[in-house]
């Protein structure tokens, strides 16, 4: 996947006004991209233009602005479908983000498809939002949760899928890329194994869609969920992609305006998917902003973005090896995204993050919404630096200076 065409990081940085500031008297070095990314001018300008010229409610109005807003919203749906290689725009449901997408599947698909004694297979790499909705579903249906472990190098134990997948496995939930370790999981292989026992597969794409080219057809899954705010888009918007026939079979998730055909006092009929799952006034502006973010990322090229981030992690690991007590927790190899989760001697991650913040460096410290994984690693927390297209080797150097300063400070 690597390509030799390097990104022009100086030009890219210039597109992100927020990066051009000092924090605590130092140049801001933003390394918290796995939590949320910053927004380029093109996205902010799209939001501004939409609100200044085109905004109205969608689908209902017979006036010019409503027509424009509807076209912009449905255009964003088609854009999102292209971004992930979906067959049809109707397979794209706009949601608030990955969390809502997964909850939608657990609530609308789950109860009809799971019975007492059925099994849901997850992995120890899952974010809480790909665990808790399935726990709620298991409590409602009497299904059981099982989980695939990792080996000590941070990779999933693929051999365990063969052991844990049974005829009772109805649902497999797996993250495409780990937000805590940066592991890129072989989702195609996992989906193929799940399909051999007839399981439905949901892939959590929150950390993949911003950084890798995605083709849901090639992945072979049934549902794919991701968030706009991690991929240069606005907050409050995300995508749940589902296979057409599954979306058609599923009951509505919420009831209200926009999702109905005929309403009587006692009963209603519903529109087909995706409208059936979008009750109420949708988040039109942010869907349009997300489409602009997809244009922006694809213009640069997701393969180049991934290669750049991979290169930054490799450089960070090289520099980290020179720092006493630095221990990276992710896999080393091509299956590694731009996430660097590490320990630094016995310095607590929160203390470390505070020292880094005092030097203008934004990282995350904690369990990263991965408590089962932290337990598996025998840790309460890690420090995580996560890279995006606007980071460069200078940022890594500043991070490493910060780590050395922290060692000195706490010695
Ligand atoms: N899954 C993964 C792997 C994530 O990293 C995140 C965000 N940290 C989520 C799900 C949840 O995304 P959101 O909060 O945008 O719904």
Tens of pLDDT, residue by residue, the chain (411 residues): 444 478 999 999 999 999 999 999 999 999 999 999 999 999 999 999 999 999 999 987 799 999 999 999 999 999 999 999 999 999 999 999 999 999 999 999 999 999 999 999 999 999 999 999 999 999 999 999 999 999 999 999 999 999 999 999 999 999 999 999 999 999 999 999 999 999 999 999 999 999 999 999 999 999 999 999 999 999 999 999 999 999 999 999 999 999 999 999 999 999 999 999 999 999 999 999 999 999 999 999 999 999 999 999 999 999 999 999 999 999 999 999 999 999 999 999 999 999 999 999 999 999 999 999 999 999 999 999 999 999 999 999 999 999 999 999 999
**Of 311, 241, 289, which is closest to residue 88 (Cα–Cα)?**
241
Residue 175 Cα: closest atom of ligand 1: 3
Start-end ranges of CATH 3.40.640.10 in the chain?
A: 44-298
- Which CATH fold would you assign to the domain 44-298? 3.40.640
Residue 148 and residue 172 in contact, taking contact as beta carbons nearer than 8 Å: no
**Of 29, 86, 22, which is closest to residue 294 (Cα–Cα)?**
86
CA quadruple 152, 406, 230, 308: dihedral positive or negative? Answer: negative
Known catalytic membership, residue 369: yes
Q: What is the DSSP string of 217-275?
A: HHHT-SEEEEESTTTTS-TT-EEEEE-HHHHHHSPPSS-STTSEEEE-SS-EEEPPTTG
Substitution site in 96, 122, 180, 227 for ligand 1 pocket (most atoms within 8 Å of beta carbon):
227
**Of 256, 240, 283, which is closest to residue 90 (Cα–Cα)?**
240
- Which CATH fold would you assign to the domain 9-30+301-410? 3.90.1150
How far does CA 138 lie from the centroid of its chain? Answer: 24
Start-end ranges of CATH 3.90.1150.10 in the chain?
A: 9-30+301-410
Instruction: Confirm or reject: Cβ of 129 under 6 Å from ligand 1.
Output: yes
Coil/strand/helix, residue 336: strand
Burial 153-192 (b: 16+ CB within 10 A, else e): ebbbeeebbeebbeebbbbbbbbbbbbbbbbbbbbeebbe
Substitution site in 32, 37, 95, 98 for ligand 1 pocket (most atoms within 8 Å of beta carbon):
98
Torsion angles phi and psi, residue 64, rounded to 5: -55, -50
pTM confidence score: 0.97
Coil/strand/helix, residue 9: helix
């Amino acid at each position: 996947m690597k390509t030799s065409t390097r990104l022009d990081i100086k030009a890219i940085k210039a597109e992100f006004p927020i990066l051009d500031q000092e924090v605590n008297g130092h140049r801001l070095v933003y390394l918290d991209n796995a939590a949320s990314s910053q927004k380029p001018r093109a996205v902010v300008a799209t939001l501004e233009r939409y609100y200044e010229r085109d905004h109205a409610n969608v689908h209902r109005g017979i006036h010019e602005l409503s027509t424009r807003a509807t076209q912009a919203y449905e255009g964003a749906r088609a854009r999102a479908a292209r971004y992930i290689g979906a067959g049809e725009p109707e397979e794209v449901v706009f949601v608030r983000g990955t969390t809502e997408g997964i909850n939608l599947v657990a609530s609308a698909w789950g109860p009809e498809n799971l019975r007492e004694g059925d099994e849901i297979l997850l992995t120890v790499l899952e974010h809480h939002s790909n665990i808790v909705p399935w726990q709620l579903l298991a409590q409602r249906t009497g299904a059981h949760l099982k989980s695939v472990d990792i080996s000590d190098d941070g990779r999933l134990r693929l051999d365990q899928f063969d052991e844990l997948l049974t005829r009772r496995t109805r649902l497999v939930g797996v993250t495409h890329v780990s937000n805590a370790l940066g592991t890129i999981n072989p989702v195609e292989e996992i989906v193929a194994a799940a399909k051999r026992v007839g399981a439905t597969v949901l892939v959590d794409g929150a950390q993949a869609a911003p950084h890798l080219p995605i083709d849901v057809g090639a992945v072979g899954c049934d549902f794919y969920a991701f968030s706009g705010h991690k991929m240069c888009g606005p907050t409050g918007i995300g995508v749940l992609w589902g296979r057409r026939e599954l979306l058609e079979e599923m009951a509505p998730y919420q009831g209200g305006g926009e999702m109905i055909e005929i309403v009587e006092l006692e009963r209603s009929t519903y529109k087909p998917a995706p409208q059936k799952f979008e009750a109420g006034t949708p988040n039109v502006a942010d869907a349009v902003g997300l489409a602009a973010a997809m244009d922006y990322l694809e213009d640069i090229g997701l393969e180049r973005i991934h290669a750049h981030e991979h290169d930054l992690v490799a450089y960070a690991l090289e520099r980290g090896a020179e720092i006493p007590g630095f221990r990276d927790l992710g896999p080393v190899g091509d299956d590694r995204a731009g996430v660097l989760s590490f320990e630094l001697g016995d310095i607590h991650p929160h203390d470390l993050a505070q020292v880094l913040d005092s030097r203008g460096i934004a990282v995350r410290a904690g369990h990263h919404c991965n408590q089962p994984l932290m337990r598996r690693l025998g840790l309460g927390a890690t420090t995580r630096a996560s890279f995006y297209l606007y980071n460069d080797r200078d940022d890594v150097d500043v991070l490493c200076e910060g780590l050395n300063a922290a060692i000195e400070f706490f010695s």
